[in-house]
Every structure is written in C-alpha cells, then in structure tokens.
Structure 1
Amino acid sequence: MDRIETEASGGCQCGAVRYHVTAVLDTSHICHCRMCQKAAGNFFIALIGVPRDAITWTRGAPATFKSSDKAARGFCRNCGTPLTYDYAGSKHINLTTGSFDDPSAFPPQVQFGTEGQLSLFEDLPIKAEGTTEEVMSDLVGAIKASNHQHPDHDTDRWPA
C-alpha cells in the first residue's frame, strides 16, 4: 500500500463529527460483503485507508459498534452517518469515501466482498436516470428549504 500525501476534510451529515486527513493509502475500494452492506444500509460501502498518524478529528469523535471481534464501525451518534471501518491491529483506519467533502477525489480502484455482490452491480457503471431535481421535482424545493445537513466544508461551529 502506497501512502499518498494530500489534504482533505470530511464528516457526518449533521456536522457533529468532522475530520481532516494529511494522507491516504492507494486503497480506495467498494466492498459488497454482507457485513458492509448492513453497516452502510446499502448495497455496498465505499472506503479508503488512512494512516492513523494522518487523521485528526476536528469536531467530535465517532461512536463505535464492534461488528466483530476483529473490527469496529464508527458512526455519528447524532445522525447515524457511517464514518469508519477499523480492523483491530491495522496500521490504518478506513474512512467512508462518501463522508469526504469531495468524495470524487478518491474514486474506487477495486471491489471486494464480491460474494455478497448483488447481480445488478456485476456490470458497473450503472446507467444514470437523471438528477435529483429531475426525479424528485415536486420535493426539491421543500427539501432545500428545510435542509439540516452540514455543508461540504469546514465550519467554525455547527449548527450555524
């Protein structure tokens, strides 16, 4: 695993937990295993390794759930956003790629846990059906007007 020096921040949906990283590993991936599906509440989870010395929790800290004797999952205790996968004894921690302010900076390079992969994801990429505005046009205005989600950048305090 190669260490890549970078500057990136991220955090949970409500802003109670924020982090900053100064390096990542070249391990950006998605995992289809059933445990990751359950942890993400989704078809798969996207993760990237971060050396332990390269992460700083800048606001709050994740709560954890020991998903096995060897691993713990970190999440925001307020909003439930999945944030980490931490394998006991590893020199790095995995952060959920979607929790970065700019997740496009870390595109997945490989897939794991394919024993749990749903057949509809065998031929990624998936056809796009349209933007949120196009698909949910009747709700977009109300959602934007009542949005409680933290913005995709660091703030001095939250809520504003």
Structure 2
Amino acid sequence: MPGFKPSDFFTQNYLDNLPILEEQVLTGKVDISAEEATHLLKVSSQFGPSRQKTQRLDIRVSGLEKYAIRRLAQECGMTVSNFLLTSAFDQKITISPTKLTDEFNSEIGRIGNNINQLVHRAHLYQGLTKDNLDMFKDILNTLKSMNSKIK
C-alpha cells in the first residue's frame, strides 16, 4: 500500500486495511512521514481495535526535567506515559484542581457565610451599619486579591 496520502485515511478501503498498513509501517516495508504516522495513529485508535502498549521508548532528560514532567503529569491526574503521549500529539490536557483552587473554593465558602450573616443582620435591623459596609469592603478586597492569584 505504498504511496497513500493523508486524504486516503477516511476511505472505506483504507479502514479495511488498517492492520495490514500498520504492520507494513512497523516492519519498515512502507515509509511514511510524521504527519501521516500521526494520522494513522488517530484513525487506528478511533476505528481500529484497541491497541495494547507493548513498545518502550527511552529518552534522556535532566533531573529537573524529569521532576517537572512527573509533577505536571501528577497535577493533570495522568501517568507520565499518557501525559507525554497527549502532549506529543497536541491533544487537550485537562489540569485537575490544584491546592490554589482548593484554597480558593474554601475561601469562597467563608466569604459566602460572611455575606449571609451580613444580609441576615441587615434584615433584622432594617439596614446596614458602617461596620457591615466595612466588612463588605474587606470581602471585596479579598475576592480581588484571590482573583489576581488565579490569573
């Protein structure tokens, strides 16, 4: 099947021959570009049978690079292997909540509690006192500070 093009990937004939083409590429009988290999991988994973990962790829990295890659994978809730594969093929990576997000959510809960207390007092006393207004200003400043940390 030499000479196929990326536009051939979605033809029925091509899909029927995925296992044969993959075997030819892996054994070196067919030479394809990186772009074509990426398309083959995407089509194969979407339409072909589930593939077990049986091959190893060893790379050299510095100690700090290794640490950073492991931490990034951990923060994304992924294995290093899945993180690197997802990154290599320009797929979307979703980062799981971090400590900052947890702190933000906790602080929002406390702020909500303070606002409820202020509203309750305003209803009881038919208005807000200067202390209540100062408390609202403090809450607003806290929200602004937290917003700048997230950005």
Using the size of structure 2 for normalisation, the TM-score is: 0.23
Q: Specify the structure having the higher radius of gyration (Cα).
A: 2
**Which structure features the higher share of helix residues?**
2
Structure with larger RCO (C-alpha < 8 A, sep 6+): 1
**Which structure features the higher share of strand residues?**
1
